[in-house]
Copies of this chain bind each other. A is one copy, B any other.
Amino acid sequence: MTAVHAFGRSPARHCKSCGAAVEWRVPDDGDTRQRAVCSTCDTIHYDNPLNVVGTIPVWDNKVLLCLRNIEPRFGKWTLPAGFMELGETLAEGAARETQEEAGAHIEMGSLFSVLSVMRVGQVHFFYHARLLKLDFDPGHETQKVQLFAEHEIPWDELAFRTVRETLIRHFADQASGQHGFHTIDIN
């Protein structure tokens, strides 16, 4: 159970199918990991990494960041991003989050960075995006949005390490004229 607690998830105590208490054990089906198993109806509960999808919205040489209005990291700056939902592709999720958090009008580009964040059981994805106009309507998760050139980025006030790593590579690629794709592991 300790391994499951470690990712900030609240572990299952009851079966989602029948409500009986679950046991934490390795299922009898050839699995090798402890899962929450229902002794009453045999339902096995799996807990897997979550995808966070977002964009790097660009206008000229500036990047749009959102000042967070929610926890975690209230009052810190982030690229628009959030949990991927059922019923959408990675790119559709990234576009939706950009709309919800920044109310920005964008043209989606290619996938730029994929970051495994093992400690929290997440994978983050950031897509290139081009702002079509300077007209924003941030949702309730965002206090305000602002455009930043590289030297203006509030590096010490960024909400997430994945945002930092993505911005570093974005500006490096911009400076060198490369159009890279980056896979990054964060512990």
Give Cα distance in the complex from A114 to B30, angstroms: 28
Cβ of A91 under 8 Å from chain B? yes
The residues of B that contact A123 with a CB separation of less than 8 Å are: 51, 84, 90
Interface string of A1-34 (1 = CB under 8 A from B): 0011011011011111111110000000010010
* Interface residue A110 (Cβ < 8 Å from any Cβ of B): yes
In the complex, per-residue mask of A89-131: 1 if CB is within 8 Å of any chain B CB, else 0: 1110000000000000000001100101010010100000000
Q: Please report whether the interface of chain A is mostly helix, strand, loop or mixed according to DSSP.
A: loop
Given A14-B16, A16-B16, A48-B84, CB of A116 within 8 Å of CB of B89 = yes
Interface size of A as a range? 35 or more
Cβ–Cβ contact B87 & A121, under 8 A:
yes
- Least Cβ–Cβ distance between A117 and chain B, in angstroms: 9
The answer to the question of A183 belonging to the interface, with a C-beta cut-off of 8 Å to chain B, is yes
Residues of B within 8 A of A46 (CB): 83
A88-B118, A181-B181 known; A16 vs B17 contact (CB < 8 Å): no
Given the known interface contacts A87-B3, A114-B111, the answer about A19 and B17 at a Cβ–Cβ threshold of 8 Å is no
Complex Cα spacing A111 to B16, Å: 35
Given contacts A47-B86, A86-B47, A86-B49, contact A16 B13 (CB under 8 A): yes
A4 to chain B, nearest CB (A): 7
A150 interface contact, C-beta 8 A: no
**Contact assessment for B3 and A14 in the assembled complex, using a CB-CB cutoff below 8 Å:** no
Q: A47-B86, A48-B51, A84-B123 are in contact. List 4 more A-B contacts (CB 8 A).
A: A48-B83, A49-B85, A90-B116, A90-B183
